[in-house]
Amino acid sequence: MSVVGDDSIEVTGVATLDEAGPGDVAFLANVKYTDRLATTKAGAVCVADGVTAERLNLLVSKDPYFTFCRVVVELVGHRKHPFVGVHPLAFVDPTATVGPGTTIYPFAFVGPRATVGANCILYPGACVYDECVLGDRVILHANTVIGLDGFGYATHGGVHHKIPQVGNVIVESDVEFGSCSTAQRATLGSTVLGTGTKLGDVVVIGHGCKIGQHNLLISQVGISGSTSTGKYVTMAGQVGVTGHLKIGSNIRVGAQSGVMDDLVDNVDVLGSPAVDMKEARKIYVATFKLPELVKRVRELEREVARLKDAIVSVSKEENAISDQRPID
Amino acid sequence: MSVVGDDSIEVTGVATLDEAGPGDVAFLANVKYTDRLATTKAGAVCVADGVTAERLNLLVSKDPYFTFCRVVVELVGHRKHPFVGVHPLAFVDPTATVGPGTTIYPFAFVGPRATVGANCILYPGACVYDECVLGDRVILHANTVIGLDGFGYATHGGVHHKIPQVGNVIVESDVEFGSCSTAQRATLGSTVLGTGTKLGDVVVIGHGCKIGQHNLLISQVGISGSTSTGKYVTMAGQVGVTGHLKIGSNIRVGAQSGVMDDLVDNVDVLGSPAVDMKEARKIYVATFKLPELVKRVRELEREVARLKDAIVSVSKEENAISDQRPID
Amino acid sequence: MSVVGDDSIEVTGVATLDEAGPGDVAFLANVKYTDRLATTKAGAVCVADGVTAERLNLLVSKDPYFTFCRVVVELVGHRKHPFVGVHPLAFVDPTATVGPGTTIYPFAFVGPRATVGANCILYPGACVYDECVLGDRVILHANTVIGLDGFGYATHGGVHHKIPQVGNVIVESDVEFGSCSTAQRATLGSTVLGTGTKLGDVVVIGHGCKIGQHNLLISQVGISGSTSTGKYVTMAGQVGVTGHLKIGSNIRVGAQSGVMDDLVDNVDVLGSPAVDMKEARKIYVATFKLPELVKRVRELEREVARLKDAIVSVSKEENAISDQRPID
């Protein structure tokens, strides 16, 4: 990171380009908004390599959003909690373990024989069922549920018999869940969320899933039971994934997609069922032409019928001509 | 509103056309169910202008559903809460402010420096994070969460670094949330829900969204970060909207649609990606013809190949004929 | 069920084929994984009729998953709760009724005049609003909400006026809800969930729905108000159903489908809008051919144009030949 302009000014806050004043740092992560540099009153702006703006003090780096992130952490910091430890209105079962530096808010629940690591935050209404394990620095936002019973029934004669869910959920370190999300405990063994994975709101992780490290599962994603993902997988909002799939690493899945097959590493997919993103875009474009295509095919059919008639008549006339040929 | 029939009868309850007795008011909002007027035992029925039913007492108005609404409010009223104020099993941070007439149920949580206006209702498990602001007459149904951290990470070297979410959420007056819905606090500035907007269950509002006034966002809708909507926008169930969009006013979005572009005022859209509703319906109709269309195109190709052959042979024969022409 | 092999061995646990040891029972429900029989160390394996594996002790039956379910119940049993009755940190309104053998966890809420039957389990944060009724052996996982107000507004002059929701929710016996799911109370009358129906996480049941017996509604399903279903209906993940529909019995709805019309008994549907599953699969296959189809139609148009030209020229030449015919 390099500083262009006056590196002696004092900044104390962070703000958007539009709202920033002389004491604030702002950022430009998307070139789409470059014109806002002309009017911002920010004391300094985090920008990408190559961006210039004479009038302004710039923090220039390859990754301006990450630079901005560091600035916010430095200037403002993460939320300060009004207490550390287990709030008297929270419930932690006497057989559970809670690590040092962890904050458990009112109405959060930690069940029998559960383990919560160090420096975690369980917001109000977060619920960790019996036997589940959270690593260190795990954040559960309000009303997220870890370790409820997997959706497992043996249907016999039309009646759904509940299968005891004997497994648990292991949430590795540095995982963050949004609110009202759920991770179901495994029927046998463990449902796993890998280190550094971040989940949005009302995300559902089915029983027995093995979610890899550093995944981003955005709000309203649902992953059915026993599916695994590799590292660095990003699923956009409202994606659904069927059960028992193997999803590789370095994969991006577009919003509202339905993944119904295994995916190899390093692919981007889109659509329901999800296919290669470029292919899916071509299909979308073609879909919009469909009503017109139907008309064109109908017109072609008429045209071909006319041509057929024309050929028949040409052919008949020609036969008539042939018939008139002088006999050799 | 005008009364047709006996305006002296006493009514004390409300019921459906099928279940109503002589002491009940019922309603007919959908002409589809007009035949039920013949059999209902209701003491009175709210109907639209122009509807007649000799035998029955009618409350005739332009908007019978609104008339019925007023009747229900008059005869039955809204829920009577067993207490007013903060229940001893709720948690309100000492630095938070709660207005008069507000009811906060057990296990609801109001965080540090949050503000809840007058005559609000926070049902069990509703959670308002630090610094967030609710106007007057706001209703949060059970387990809805206002102001959790926005889903904001700066990804650097594959690792997702949490960006402190410095902003808050402002919920204006007369907004109602269903259960298990979430509104994420803004990274900077405020996420806003405009006056009179109503949200269903498990709706997700991303960080930095500015939702306009009198919107209807039905259950399972998800709106990604920094998107704004105008007034009188209705999104049907399971709609998804991508981030950083400008959605105008007076817009209806059909169920399960995926809105991926800005929308101007006064449009109805449908589909994923969402397009003009009439166009989308044409595409749907055409889609159902697709397997047949594939067959028709294959048949056309065969037909054209046959025609080509026919023309070649006609052409050859003709050449043969031509060759026999007497030399000029 | 019959035992093949040594029926005298002692088994004490259950595990997957891969993880089982000599004291464990495992199962093979999906023939896809048959090769794992060769390497498993399980003491016994539940398999389907006809499956053989010389080395192993087998519990052979028509329905090995159901056999396994019975084994798990026998050997491990369902969750043992640390207490029976109402936990001191739960809230049960004094006017509510709770049956014998029921366990109500901390932070669960049972509202005024609500009824909870016998042997139910209400996990932390589960919320039953006023007047609602649960049968026997009902399970509500953490943060599920029964009986919040239906999403009912009369829109008048652009403003959405709340209609008091006078009805309730009746959850019949042996129903299980996952976490963060919601069932809205009816405007009038009751929303009903039929005996033995099982729901996943973040499922939304609209006001006035009548869900039949032994349905399986998998995670993130949403059913709009006043829709009814028959018996033995299965809806896969993220399915949406519009309001006021009549869905028959013995129906399967594929993942992410949008049901927009009534469905008769004994059908399988898929897609949005949902159609017969076989038809939907044909449409999917055809959709993937769309970009190619567009090209083929364009090529056909060119070809037909060329043919047209060819015929015109053949026709002209022939006319020319004709013109040379000796006059009869």
> Would you say residue C80 lies in a domain?
no
What is the chain B residue with the closest CA to A281? B273
What is the residue-averaged pLDDT of chain B?
94
Q: Is B201 a residue whose pLDDT tops 90?
A: yes
CA-based radius of gyration for chain B: 30
Tens digits of residue pLDDT in B128-145: 999 999 999 999 999 999
Q: Is C155 inside a domain boundary?
A: yes
Please state which of the ranges A307-311, B170-174, B192-196 shows the lowest mean pLDDT.
A307-311
Long-range contacts of A247-254 (CB under 8 A, 24+ apart): A249/A212, A252/A277, A254/A280
Count CB pairs under 8 A between chains A and B: 195
- Residue A323 pLDDT greater than 70, yes or no: no
Does residue B298 have a pLDDT over 70? yes
**Structure confidence at residue B322 (pLDDT):** 62
Same domain, B28 and B133: no
- The residues of A that are catalytic are 207
Instruction: Mutate one of B145, B197, B238, B265 to test the C interface: name it (highest C CB count within 10 A).
Output: B238
Q: Smallest Cβ distance to C73: which of A125, A164, A324?
A: A164
Helix, strand, coil shares, percent, chain A, to 5: 20, 30, 50
- Longest C-alpha distance within chain B, in Å? 116
Helices (H) and strands (E) in chain C, counts: 3, 35
- Residue A237 domain-assigned? yes
Distance between CA atoms of residues B98 and B116, nearest Å? 5
Q: What is the mean pLDDT of residues B263-271?
A: 98
Q: Does C237 touch chain B (CB under 8 A)?
A: no
Categorize the per-residue pLDDT at A139 as very low, low, confident or very high, splitting at 50, 70 and 90.
Answer: very high
Q: What b/e readout covers A73-85, taking b as 16+ CB neighbours within 10 angstroms?
A: eeebeebeeeeee
In DSSP notation, C37-76 reads GGT---SEEEEETT---TTS-EEEES-HHHHHHHHHHHHT
Which parts of chain C register pLDDT below 50?
A: 327-328
Whether the CB of C219 is below 8 Å from some CB of chain B: the reply is no
Q: Is residue A179 part of a domain?
A: yes
Residue B240 confidence (pLDDT): 98
Cα–Cα distance, C238 to C274 (Å, whole number): 13
Where a domain ends, among A75, A100, A126?
A75
Q: Is B87 a catalytic residue?
A: no
DSSP β-bridge partners for residue B153: B162
Give whole-number Cα distances, C141 to B36, C87, C121, C209, in Å. Answer: 40, 16, 8, 21
A277 and A248 co-located in one domain? yes
pLDDT at B63 over 90: yes
Is the pLDDT score of B208 beyond 70?
Answer: yes
Nearest to B158 among A200, A232, A326 (CB): A232
Nearest to C310 among B106, B297, B311 (CB): B311
Task: Give the pair of three-digit tokens for residue C292.
Answer: 């190619």
- Choose the mutation target among A69, A89, A311 for the interface with B, i.e. most B CBs under 10 Å: A69
Whole-number Å distance between alpha carbons of A261 and A273: 8
Strand order from edge to edge, sheet including A133-134: A97-98, A115-116, A133-134, A168-171, A190-193, A210-211, A228-229, A246-247
* pLDDT number for residue C64: 94
The b-or-e profile of C144-165 (16+ CB within 10 A means b, else e) is: bbbbbbbbbbbbeeeebbbbbb
Binning pLDDT at 50, 70 and 90, where does residue A325 land? low
A34 in Cβ contact with B207 (< 8 Å): no
What is the DSSP-derived secondary structure letter of residue C263? B
Together in a domain, B105 and B241: yes
Find the DSSP H helices in chain C.
Answer: 64-75, 277-288, 290-324
With a CB-CB cutoff of 8 Å, which residues 155-214 of chain B face chain C?
A: 176, 178-180, 196, 198, 200-202, 214
Q: How many domains does chain C have?
A: 3
Instruction: List, for residues A24-54, the tens digit of each pLDDT value.
Output: 999 998 888 899 999 999 999 999 999 998 8
d(CA B73, CA C162): 9
Residue of C87, C207, C214, C244 marked active site: C207
Asked if residue A273 has a cis previous peptide bond (ω within 30° of 0), the answer is yes
Indicate if C124 and C62 belong to the same structural domain: no
Choosing from C75, C101, C134, the residue where a domain stops is C75
Closest approach of B314 to chain A, Cα-based (Å): 6
Residue C183 is assigned to a structural domain of this protein = yes
CATH of the domain at C116: 2.160.10.10
pLDDT, average across residues A71-86: 96
Distance linking the first and last C-alpha atoms of chain A: 95
Helix (H, G, I), strand (E, B) or coil at B270: strand
Per-residue model confidence (pLDDT) at position C98:
98
Lowest mean pLDDT, pick from A315-324, B24-33, B236-245, C36-45: A315-324
* Terminal-residue alpha carbon distance, chain B: 96
pLDDT value at residue C323: 63
A127: nearest Cα among B116, B252, B125, C215:
B125
C254, C234 in Cβ contact below 8 A?
no
Which chains contact B through at least 3 pairs of Cβ atoms less than 8 Å apart? A, C
Token code pair at residue B215: 């919107």
* Same-domain status, A202 and A319: no
Which is the catalytic residue, given B160, B207, B214, B244? B207
Mutation target vs A (from C294, C296, C309, C313; most A CBs, 10 A cutoff): C294
Facing residues of C153 across strands?
Answer: C162
Mean pLDDT score across all residues of chain A: 94
> Is C238 within the bounds of a domain?
yes
Dihedral in degrees, nearest 10, Cα atoms B313, B315, B318, B324: -100
Tell me, yes or no, whether C325 and C214 share the same domain.
Answer: no
- The residue type at A326: P
Predicted pLDDT at C24:
96
Give Cα separations from C175 to A261, B298, C80, C136, C137 (angstroms).
32, 52, 19, 9, 7
**Residue B216 forms contact with C (CB below 8 Å):** yes
Among C22, C46, C75, give the residue marking a domain's end: C75
What CA dihedral angle connects B236, B241, B246 and B248, to 10 degrees?
A: -10
Residue B237 contacts A where some CB pair is shorter than 8 Å: no
Mean per-residue pLDDT for A66-83? Answer: 95
pLDDT at A78 over 90: yes
Question: Which chains touch A (3+ CB pairs under 8 A)?
Answer: B, C
Residues of B within 8 A of A76 (CB-CB) are 164, 166
Is residue B148 domain-shared with residue B52, that is, in the same domain?
no
**Distance from the A247 Cα atom to the nearest Cα atom in chain B, whole angstroms:** 17
B209-229 average pLDDT score = 98
Residues of B in contact with C124 (CB under 8 A): none
Q: Give per-residue pLDDT as tens, B84-106.
A: 999 999 999 999 999 999 999 99
**Whole-angstrom Cα distance, residue B199 to residue C160?**
11
Degrees to nearest 5, angle at CA B68 with C187 and B29: 85
CB contact (8 A) between residue C69 and residue A154: yes
Residues A242-290: tens digit of each pLDDT: 999 999 999 999 999 999 999 999 999 999 999 999 999 999 999 998 9
List of residues 6+ apart from C27 with CB closer than 8 A: C17, C45, C46, C47, C64, C65, C67, C68, C71
Give the closest-approach CA distance of C177 to chain B in angstroms: 14
Contact A132, A168 (CB under 8 A): yes
| Statement to judge: residues C230 and C304 lie in one domain | no
Walk across the sheet containing A2-4 and list its strands: A2-4, A58-61, A44-48, A24-27, A13-14
pLDDT confidence tier of residue B29, bands split at 50, 70 and 90: confident
Specify whether B183 is located in the same domain as B308: no
B109, B148, B153 ranked by CB distance to A106: nearest: B109
pLDDT at C326: 53
Look at residues A269, A271, A264, A231 and name the one whose alpha carbon lies nearest to residue A246.
A264
Contacts of A322 in chain B (CB under 8 A): 317, 321
pLDDT value for C298: 94
| Angstrom distances, CA of residue B184 to CA of B115, B138, B206, C326 | 16, 17, 5, 92
- pLDDT at residue C239, rounded to an integer: 98
Nearest CA in chain B to C142: B143
How many pairs of residues across A and C have Cβ atoms under 8 Å apart? 194
CB proximity under 8 Å: B 69-88 to A: none
At residue B155, does pLDDT exceed 90? yes
Question: Does A39 lie in the same domain as A184?
Answer: no
**Which token pair is C69?**
């379910």
Give CA angle at C8 (C4, C13), nearest 5°. 90
To the nearest whole Å, the CA of A157 is away from the closest chain B CA by 33
Of A181, A222, A273, the CB nearest to C237: A222
Nearest to A300 among C65, C219, C301 (CB): C301
- A42-56, B202-216, B310-324: least confident range: B310-324
Cα–Cα dist B93/B113, whole Å: 8
In which domain, by residue range, is B33 found?
A: 2-75
Q: Which two tokens stand for residue A210?
A: 């093995």
- Beta-bridged to residue B94, according to DSSP, are none
Residue A80 domain flag? no
Is there a single domain that holds both residue C64 and residue C89? no
Q: Is residue B80 part of a domain?
A: no
Q: How confident is the model at residue B321 (pLDDT cuts 50, 70, 90)?
A: low
Same-domain status, C60 and C95: no
Tokens of C99: 């049956």
* Inter-chain touch A181–C178, beta carbons under 8 Å: no
Average pLDDT over residues A155-181: 97
Distance in angstroms (rounded) separating the CA atoms of residues B84 and B106: 12
Q: The tokens of A89 are what? A: 């209105």
